[in-house]
Structures are given as C-alpha cells and as structure tokens.
Chain A
Amino acid sequence: MSERAMNESNQYLSFRLAEETFAMNVAQVREILDFTTVTKVPQTPPYMRGVINLRGSVVPVLDLRLKFGMSQTENTVNSCIVVVELQEGAVVGVLTDAVQEVLDIEPDQIEPAPRLGTKLNKDFILGMGRHDDQFIMILDVDRIFCLEDVGLTGDEPELDEACNG
C-alpha cells in the first residue's frame, strides 16, 4: 500500500469496467477524453491498444479490461479515455467503459485489499474504499502499468522498488 498516493488527496475518480466499479486517486488524473481513434502500433500486446493524438503529443493508450483478463473494451457512447500521470512522469491513457464521479473517501474509510475473493491481482489494488455502503476497489495505477508496460525497464531503482518491493 502506497502511503504517498493516499496522502496526495482524499478524492477519487470512480469509473466502470464492464460490470464493476473502480476508482483512482484524482491527483494522478490529468484529463478525460472521449474514446477517439486509436492508432494501433504493430507487434505490441493486445492490451496496448495504440496511440492517440493529445494536442500534438503522442500518448499510448492501454486497455484495462484486457489487462484484468476481461474482454476487450468496446467503443460505446460512454467510453472514455482517462489520461493519467504516473510516478515517473510517464503519461498514459486508460480505456474505460464509463466515468462516473469524484468521491471523497477518507483514509480511515479505506480497508486493505482482501487476500482472496477477487479475480484481480491484489497488487493492483491499493485498498477497498467504503462509500455509501458500497465497496469500491481503488487501483494503484503505478503498479498496474509497471515496467514493461510503460517502457521503464528496471533501470529506475525507485520504481522497481515500488513495483516489486
């Protein structure tokens, strides 16, 4: 569990992947875009959907559903690309089925991730946030898009530690 991420802000952006709701700390969210044309880069894993043009910069877009073992994200009217900024300054876009709202969740309302009971790799989850009697899984985006995903190949000891330590 990353203390730093928690202390940054108590606000979290909730979004939907298939039937489940997740959240991530707003401090890392740069902007939210509509699902536009994504240009696929050949010979890359399926969850690396490609790149988009973000005001003149080329930004990679990753399919979180595929990363979590779900089926590929479809392009619907509610689909959004959430542009996040990772710890090392890398900027990536994340495909979501829908973006919901910004929630206030205090640190004492967040419980550690359960060891079992979820299909997901528990390393990806910072914790379970309680909001209105619902539990929302708060994602650790730095961990999810670790190392080879964003091309940081372990030469960065701090990130290496964050991912593996």
Chain B
Amino acid sequence: MVMDVHVQAYREEAYEYLAELESSLLELEDHPEDADLIGRVFRVMHTIKGSGAMFGFDDIAGFTHEVETVFDQVRNGQMAVSSQLVTLTLAARDQIKAMLAASEHGTPVDAAESVRIVAGLRELSGKGDRDAPGVTAAAAAHGGETEPVAVTYRILVTPVAEIFASGTNPLALLNELRELGPCQAVAQLGRVPAIDEIDPEHCYVAWHVVLTTDRGIEAIRDVFVFAEDVCELKIEVIDDGSASGGYKKLGEILVEKGELAPDALAEILASQKRIGTLAIEKGVHPEAVTAALVEQQHVKQQREERQKQESAASIRVPADKLDLLVNLVGEMVTVQARFTQTAVERRDPKFKAIAEEVERLTGELRDIALNIRMLPIGSTFSKFKRLVRDLSAELGKEIEMTTAGADTELDKTVIEKLNDPLVHLLRNSIDHGIELPEVRAAGGKPRQGTVHLAAQHAGDSVILSIKDDGAGLDREAIRAKAVERGLIPANAELSEKEIFGQIFAPGFSTAKQVTSVSGRGVGMDVVKRSIEALRGSIEIDSRRGEGTLISIRIPLTPAIIESLMVMIGGNRYLLPLSLVDQCVLFPKEDRERCHGRDMVNVRGRMIPFIPIRERFGLAGKRPDIEQIVIVEMDGMQVGLVVDYVIGEHQTVIKSLGPAYKDVRGVSGATILGDGAVALILDLPQIVQSVENEAA
C-alpha cells in the first residue's frame, strides 16, 4: 500500500530526528544559552509532531505537543534550560522512540511513563492546564523577562500548482497564520487561466499577507515547516515595532514586491519628480537615499543567501545500493587489471595508451567509491555521550567524556562493527576504571573522572583510543589470575604488554563482583576478535592509580593491502608487505649446511625458517637457488622459503568464503591480472601452527 511506504519513511526520518535531538540536548546541557540549539530542539519536536499527526501517529503527536509547548517557552526566553529539563526531555525522546518502535513491532509502551514525563515538564514550566500556548498566559507565568514585541511582516505565499496533490490545503495554512495575530491576506489571481484551461486540481492562486504578531518570525515559519516543498514562502519584516509615523510609498512597495518593474516605475516617476530627488529636496542627504537603497538591497540579498545555504546538499541513499556500487567497482578493477596486462603483452602502443587511461579512471572511480562509504566517526562518539551520562549516573560516579578527531572518517561497515567493542570498552572504563568520587577525592584526584575518546589517521590506518584517568590495571592481580586459570605458567617471564594482553583471554575477569554492566568475562575476548576480524589490533597500556589507555588500530581500507608476490612450487602467493623485512638468497649449499635444522645465518643472526613448499605439499623439484623472505612479527623474525620473489602487488582481498574459514595459513585470495587466483598467506597462523607442532 502506498501509505505504508510513507509511514515507513516517516519512521525512518523520525528515528534520524530523534538521534539529532539527543545530541542537541546533550550539547544544550553544556551550552544552555545557545539560541541555535534551542531552536533546533524545538524544530525537531515540531516536525515530529506535525508529520506524526499527518500519518496517524496521534499518540506521538499528542505527547510531543506537550514537550514542544515547554520548549516554546524556552525559546521565547520565558524559561531557562536546566539539567532537570534536559533529563526530562531525554526521557521524552526515549519515550517517543518507544512509541515508534511500538508501532513497528508491537512492543508495548509504558503509558505511565508518558504521564510522568508530562507531569514533570508541566511542573517545570509552572503551567496548570492544557491550553495551547496562548501569548498572554505564557508571558504571565514567568513574567519579568523581555516583553515580546509586535512586529509586522510581509508574507508572500506562493503554492506550487500541484500543492493539492500533497494533501496540503493553502487555506488551512492561512488560517494558522491568522491565529498568530491581526492578519490581512489578499489573493493574487493573476495566474488563473481562462475557464476552459483551468485544471481543477491545480492551484493558481497566490496570497500576499500582512501579519502583525509578537510571536516572532519563527512562529510564521513553523506554520509552513512541512509545506516547505510545495509552497514558496517569503517573509519580510516591514515594521519591527520601532518605526513610527507613515510607511513606504506605494511605488516603493510595489517595486519591493516585484509587482512593478523598476523601469516601469522609473517611467512613471520620470513623469513626476523622483522620490529620491524629492527626498533630497526635502533635506534628506543624497548619501542617505543611496544608503537606504543599498540597505534594502543588502538585507534582501542576505536573506536569499541564507535560504540557499539551508537547503540540503546531501542525498540519502539506501546502503545496499552503495554496496552494489562498490561491488561493481571491485569487479571493474579486477577486469581492468587483466585488460592492462593484455595490453602490455600485446605491445601495441595505441592499445597500451588506452589501457593506461582506463587504469587511471578506474583508480579514481575506486577511490571515490570506497570514499563514499566513509563516514566520520563523530556520530558514534556522540552516541556514547549519552551512554556515559546515563551509566555514570546509574553508578553514582561523576564522569565527563571528551573527544578528539570526531571528523576522522572510517568505512561505514567498520564503524558499525566497532560499535559493540567500543561500548564494551567504555563500560569497562566507567565501571571498573573510574573510581567513585569520594575515592578519587581521597586519592587527591578531582572528583570528576574523564574518559577521552580519540581518533586519528596514522599512515594507512586509523588509531582509536579510549583513555581514562581512573584506577588503572592491577598488573599483579592480572598475572595471578592468568596463572590461576592456567593461561601462563607460574614462573613465566612476561612483559607488561603481554600481561595486560591476558585480559583478552576468554573467560578472564578480575572483577570481584559481576555487575549488570560488566564483569562476566565474556567481553574482552569478543572485543579482541571483533577487532581482529577487521584486521586491526588492540593494545592496553596502564599505570596503577593513574589510568588506562586502550589503543585500537584499524586499517583504512580493509579490502586492499600492499603485498609481496612470491612463487612457490609453480603457484603464486602473497604476503602482507608490512611484515616483510628483507629477502636473502638461499642457494643449495647453504641449505645443505643446515643439517636438517630449519635455521639460517643471516648477517650474524640465526633466523628460523619455514619450508612452505613441504608444508603445503607442493609438487615439483626444488630450485637450486631459492630465496628466503624474512618477516618480522611480534618482535620475532622468521623466514619463509620461496622459489623466488616476484615483486610488490597491490592486492584486492577476496574472501575465500565460509568453506575455508577453518583453514590455517591462508587468510584470503585475490584475482591476479591474468585471471588466476592467488592465495594470501596468513603468516601469524603459519608460524603458530609450526610452533604448535614443535611443542
């Protein structure tokens, strides 16, 4: 049904508005005087209410109306923003979200909560009854603030011809305007065609309205807020309540309203003395006339500029369309690589030139396509502000969250996948890291703890960090627990990093109590796995009594890595270039000198190596001169024996699929320029399995 599509669209937009509302409210708490923020909050409320009513969400419309009423008072300066108000409004936002969810999934809504919120809001605003926000009543309730001034506006209402099709009735809009104050509307019938040409479903009438109201220009705009697309609106202050005496001349008004072409007016006036001249004759300074004209122009221009900027420069696209696009771009890149390869083989210069151009364009296309999916991580950070606020309140702690690098961009799926791990780490910081205010004060720390979230680019990765100034990790306790759980032998010598790394083992937790928030020990290993699934890494650094710093490194483009291509047993394989340290020759004589031990002397150091060929059971004869690629991982150097090194290769990673997820040693595959499949070696896994076999 057509209606369902609109209802769904309303819901999606409403959820977006609610997200915006939340962040605006949190910001407002820190900047209670900011008129922009107040206006934003009010407008969101108003829109949700209006659209809600239009699509039959009467409960949402009614509830939102209450909240909007209170914020209207804030907007008019009759009420200040308090922490209480913000808390109540946040609760209201949650309630609206629950109502939306209820309409979608049928989950029940707590009606008592609505009543509680409304009562709380009414109490704050000091209103006893449920009237529409009458101007005088509001002014009386918190009198003593600035008296609103009656301003006269010139409003040009020009509906588009198809306005009726959108369900909007221009007369209803005009009636709403009338409610704002003394109002005169004159219909403009100039565009109405002859009766045999009239389309009864089109609107040809425009209105010129003069309205005097003390509700402010916002109130006028609000009337048209959701008729924005179907009705052109021009509002001008023609009397701001300060001027007295007569008003502009008829000719001026006509020209100002565009009814009379300036040159026509000029002609008319040429037959009389010009107004400016008359004005000058009357003693007005010529520059004053020029200045007045300039001012007129200027203010008009300013308004036009503002309108242009407000129209959105972005477009909403369903995520799966984007995914399709990125997939196609990926296939294109692959085919283009083959194309270039063939062109090189053909040795045809014209062909090669075209291939080069295709390569350049495809490269740009790929960069842009990948970039489209990049979003600033700031939106995730703002979500966390709410979490920190609520959680610290729940635990009786005082915590402030600061952020840095909110505009650092990450791939959309990466951000989504990072959400849960980050939430878990944040909760840990708040629950276990930051101490209670009394404890902190006793220890000479400020009562309020700080959690600092930061993101920054570093080479081809992004580094996210969560830093708290809490109690820090207890190294000895962790070590003891790890020994107790059999994760490390009692006498093992471990570096600080390695000890902290034990936290990531499954089932590990040193929390004395399991709270509802954390402590069950199922979180950290999942966090580590999620991050490794994104091909990232996580590290912990901590000072007892000072705090903890958790650093997460995620590669920017999960899909493409720089690798080294090698040949082993007639097949091509790829190694991540970032791990490669050096390559050395491995002639037969050196091999024999090993006496069966897999170690080789490289410039005075003994480096263990792995004979991949045997390991993979590859057929064929070993070449007399092989090469060893020495890689460095976790501070250790290991060599891999290959037939020969081919060279660097920019690799688009293709997953092998779930069929191969248990295979050790291969992390993915790629399609080479000639269409062949080459496997990407997972060095840490290979080394691990060799170690396991040796043990």
* With known contacts A56-B335, A58-B669, A59-B657, A44–B663 Cβ distance under 8 A: yes
Inter-chain contact B659/A48, CB cutoff 8 Å: yes
B297 within 8 Å of A (CB atoms): no
Of all chain B residues, the one with the shortest Cβ separation from A90 is B658
User: How far, in angstroms, from A149 to B662 measured CA to CA in the complex?
Assistant: 10
Identify whether the interface residues of B are mostly helix, strand, loop, or mixed: mixed
B285 within 8 Å of A (CB atoms): no
Interface-facing stretch out of A20-28, A35-43, A136-144: A35-43
Of all chain A residues, the one with the shortest Cβ separation from B616 is A42
A52 within 8 Å of B (CB atoms): yes
Which residues of chain B (623-658) have a CB below 8 Å from chain A? Answer: 654-658
- The residue in A42, A50, A90, A149 that gathers the most chain B C-beta atoms within 10 A of its C-beta is A42
Q: B273: shortest Cβ distance to chain A, in Å?
A: 80
B139 within 8 Å of A (CB atoms): no
- The residue in A39, A55, A56, A60 that gathers the most chain B C-beta atoms within 10 A of its C-beta is A56
* With known contacts A56-B330, A58-B655, A151–B662 Cβ distance under 8 A: yes
A53 within 8 Å of B (CB atoms): yes
User: How far, in angstroms, from A56 to B665 measured CA to CA in the complex?
Assistant: 22
Of all chain B residues, the one with the shortest Cβ separation from A92 is B659
- Size category of the A interface is 20 to 34
Q: For residue B679, which residues in chain A have a CB less than 8 angstroms away from its CB? A: 39, 41-42
Q: A142: shortest Cβ distance to chain B, in Å?
A: 14
Q: For residue A32, which residues in chain B have a CB less than 8 angstroms away from its CB? A: none
A150 within 8 Å of B (CB atoms): yes
Cβ contacts A to B, 29 pairs, < 8 Å: A39-B571, A39-B677, A39-B678, A39-B679, A41-B660, A41-B663, A42-B618, A42-B665, A43-B664, A48-B660, A50-B677, A51-B660, A51-B677, A53-B671, A53-B676, A55-B331, A56-B330, A57-B654, A58-B654, A58-B669, A58-B671, A59-B657, A91-B657, A92-B659, A149-B659, A151-B657, A151-B659, A151-B660, A152-B658
Binding site for A on B (CB under 8 A): 330-331, 334-335, 571, 615-618, 654-666, 669, 671, 675-679
Of all chain B residues, the one with the shortest Cβ separation from A148 is B662
Inter-chain contact B665/A43, CB cutoff 8 Å: yes
- The residue in B571, B659, B675, B676 that gathers the most chain A C-beta atoms within 10 A of its C-beta is B659
Q: Give 15 new A-B contacts, CB below 8 A, not counting A42-B618, A90-B657.
A: A40-B571, A41-B656, A41-B663, A42-B663, A42-B665, A44-B663, A51-B656, A51-B669, A56-B335, A56-B654, A91-B657, A148-B662, A150-B659, A151-B660, A152-B658
Of all chain A residues, the one with the shortest Cβ separation from B331 is A56
Of all chain B residues, the one with the shortest Cβ separation from A56 is B331
- The residue in B330, B571, B617, B679 that gathers the most chain A C-beta atoms within 10 A of its C-beta is B679
Q: For residue A40, which residues in chain B have a CB less than 8 angstroms away from its CB? A: 571
User: How far, in angstroms, from A152 to B658 measured CA to CA in the complex?
Assistant: 7
- The residue in B654, B676, B677 that gathers the most chain A C-beta atoms within 10 A of its C-beta is B677
User: How far, in angstroms, from A60 to B677 measured CA to CA in the complex?
Assistant: 11
Q: Which of B334, B571, B618, B658 contacts A56 (CB 8 A)?
A: B334
Inter-chain contact A43/B663, CB cutoff 8 Å: yes
Inter-chain contact B671/A56, CB cutoff 8 Å: yes
* With known contacts A53-B671, A58-B671, A37–B657 Cβ distance under 8 A: no
* With known contacts A37-B676, A39-B678, A43-B616, A58–B657 Cβ distance under 8 A: yes
Q: B337: shortest Cβ distance to chain A, in Å?
A: 10
User: How far, in angstroms, from A60 to B661 measured CA to CA in the complex?
Assistant: 12
User: How far, in angstroms, from A41 to B664 measured CA to CA in the complex?
Assistant: 10
* With known contacts A39-B678, A43-B663, A51-B669, A150–B656 Cβ distance under 8 A: no
**Closest 7 interchain pairs by CB?**
A151-B658, A42-B616, A56-B331, A39-B677, A60-B659, A58-B654, A56-B334
Of all chain B residues, the one with the shortest Cβ separation from A36 is B675
- The residue in A37, A55, A57 that gathers the most chain B C-beta atoms within 10 A of its C-beta is A57
Q: Which of A39, A44, A55, A151 contacts B669 (CB 8 A)?
A: A39
Q: For residue B658, which residues in chain A have a CB less than 8 angstroms away from its CB? A: 90, 150-152
Q: For residue A56, which residues in chain B have a CB less than 8 angstroms away from its CB? A: 330-331, 334-335, 654, 671
User: How far, in angstroms, from A65 to B334 measured CA to CA in the complex?
Assistant: 32
Q: For residue B676, which residues in chain A have a CB less than 8 angstroms away from its CB? A: 37, 39, 53
User: How far, in angstroms, from A51 to B655 measured CA to CA in the complex?
Assistant: 11
Q: Which of B615, B671, B678 contacts A42 (CB 8 A)?
A: B615
Q: For residue B655, which residues in chain A have a CB less than 8 angstroms away from its CB? A: 58
User: How far, in angstroms, from A37 to B331 measured CA to CA in the complex?
Assistant: 19
Inter-chain contact A53/B677, CB cutoff 8 Å: yes
Q: A61: shortest Cβ distance to chain B, in Å?
A: 10
Inter-chain contact B666/A42, CB cutoff 8 Å: yes
User: How far, in angstroms, from A52 to B671 measured CA to CA in the complex?
Assistant: 9
